[in-house]
Amino acid sequence: MATAASASASASASPAAAFGAKTRRPGPSPSPSPASAFARPSPRASAAGRLHASLHLGGASATGSSIVSNASGIHLAAPVLAPLAVPKMTGAVGAHKNVLLFHCEEMRELAEQVVARNDDIELRSISWRTFADGFPNLFISNAHTIRGRHVAFLASFSSPSVIFEQLSIIYALPKLFISSFTLILPFFPTGTSERMEDEGDVATAFTLARILSNIPISRGGPSSLVIFDIHALQERFYFGDSVLPCFESGIPLLKSRLQELPDSDNVVCNKVREGEQRIVRIKEGDPRGRHVVIVDDLVQSGGTLIECQKVLAEHGAAKVSAYVTHGIFPNKSWEKFQPDNGESPGHGLSHFWITDSCPLTVNAVKDRQPFEILSLAGPIASALQI
């Protein structure tokens, strides 16, 4: 019969013996099972001694197990959680998108320049053919290889006759299970037809905006639409919620070019608009002895620009130049503009800068003074990485 002293001693020596648990004979210790790492607390543990453990997600900085003890002396090794792996999102700051760039035939040269500006942009091709009846017979080369890729199309709506075939491609590309789709339309051609002044007027700017608003969505969501210097900013509200218009400008190209001029500290820019009546006045500033640059978003016949040139020359401007983002020049109206040949601005323009948003115009004037082409290749390459 065990005495109280011996029982107390036994309990002190072994907690398990105090509860009448059997003791194991000496032998090799088996490897603990995964469940044995979490010891069960004693049913006699006080409320104050209950186990407490905290769980850290995605930011655990511990390099070893966290040990927590309760009143019974039982130790719990809290598991170490590795930080959650956060996937890198495409388009994040510092990330580069690999973009497949398709283009219409008119935009081939500009597309090649865009690709040359960024190694993350790859040029792809489309077969532009027609059936005997004149309707388009189109084929997207290697269409199966663009699945899951970022895709862009460089368009030119230079005339109604080429819009339908390009819309057919624009509507087809997002359905090829691509990751995202971007339409680059440097010149929005119906931008000047944005108002209804008389009953019966048709705002074709709204019509084209609605057509582009129905581009099918891709896996990444709504398509993006990049336009340079749209005629009126309120036209952004013509687009529906199924497309994301991004309005860029060619003015930074002009600013960079002006800084290269020898008289860059003597340049004044003046913004003009063409209206129903050709009335040209100098609102502010003194052009005498200055190099004046006339700035506008587009030019059609060019009559207002020529009137501005004459008025500025009469008021003593040393040089007169012009800049437009979109040189339309229907019916070869670009022929009206002559270089000053180093003489007074009454004879002509010192420079006439245009971008390559209208490739047919570029082909007509690229070797003709006073015209100089400022390429949108760089801004387009940057816009594709947004």
Residues 325 and 354: beta-carbon distance below 8 Å? yes
DSSP β-ladder status, 223-228 and 180-184:
parallel
Burial 283-293 (b: 16+ CB within 10 A, else e): eeeebeebbbb
C-alpha torsion 96→100→104→110, nearest 10: 40
Pick the most confident of 3-12, 31-40, 71-80, 145-154. Answer: 145-154
Residue type, 82: A
pLDDT of residue 142: 93
In 3D space, the residue among 250, 224, 254 whose CA is nearest the CA of residue 239 turns out to be 224
pLDDT digits (tens, 9 = 90+) for 304-344: 899 999 999 999 999 999 999 999 999 999 999 999 998 88
Q: What percent of the chain has pLDDT over 70?
A: 72
Name the more confident of 77 and 346.
346
At 116 the pLDDT is: 97
Segment 258-270 mean pLDDT: 86
Q: Which residue has the higher pLDDT, 88 or 249?
A: 249
Each residue's pLDDT tens digit, 104-163:
999 999 999 999 999 999 999 999 999 999 999 999 999 999 999 999 999 999 999 999
| DSSP class per residue in 262-279 | TTGGGEEEEE----SS--
Whether the CA torsion 103, 106, 108, 109 is positive or negative: it is: negative
CATH class of 252-375: alpha beta
* pLDDT for residue 95: 67
User: Among 250-259, 273-282, 356-365, which stretch is predicted with the lowest mean pLDDT?
Assistant: 273-282
- Does pLDDT of 25 surpass 80? no
Q: How confident is the model at residue 285 (pLDDT cuts 50, 70, 90)?
A: confident
pLDDT(84) > 60: no
- Within 10 angstroms of residue 144's Cβ, the number of other Cβ atoms is 8
Which CATH number applies to 99-248?
A: 3.40.50.2020
Instruction: Quote the mean pLDDT of the chain.
Output: 81
Determine the number of helices (DSSP H) and then strands (DSSP E) in the chain.
Answer: 9, 15
pLDDT, position 9: 40
Cis peptide before 28 (omega within 30 of 0): no
238: tokens are 């013509």
Which band of pLDDT confidence, cut at 50, 70 and 90, is reported for residue 45? very low
CA atoms of 381 and 119, how far apart (whole Å): 10
pLDDT of residue 277: 54
CA 61 to chain centre: 36
3-state secondary structure of 385: coil
Q: Running DSSP on this structure, what letter comes out for residue 40?
A: P
User: How far is residue 238 from each of residues 35, 185, 204, 245, measured CA to CA in Å?
Assistant: 64, 16, 11, 10
Name the residue ranges covered by the structural domains of the chain: 99-248, 252-375
What is the rounded distance in angstroms from the CA atom of residue 348 to the CA atom of residue 336?
A: 10
* Residue 190 clears pLDDT 70, i.e. is over it: yes
Read off the DSSP letter of residue 277.
S
Q: How far is CA 265 from the centre of its chain?
A: 34
Of the candidates 174, 162, 160, the one whose C-alpha atom is nearest the C-alpha of residue 207 is: 160
Rounded to whole angstroms, how far apart are CA atoms 201 and 47? 83
Distance CA 372, CA 354 (A): 6
Nearest to 304 by CA among 292, 294, 313, 316: 294
pLDDT band at 88; cut points 50, 70, 90: very low
pTM of this prediction?
0.74
Q: How far apart are CA 338 and CA 349, in angstroms?
A: 6
Sorted by sequence, the CB contacts under 8 Å of residue 146 that are 6+ apart come out as: 100, 124, 140, 173, 176, 178
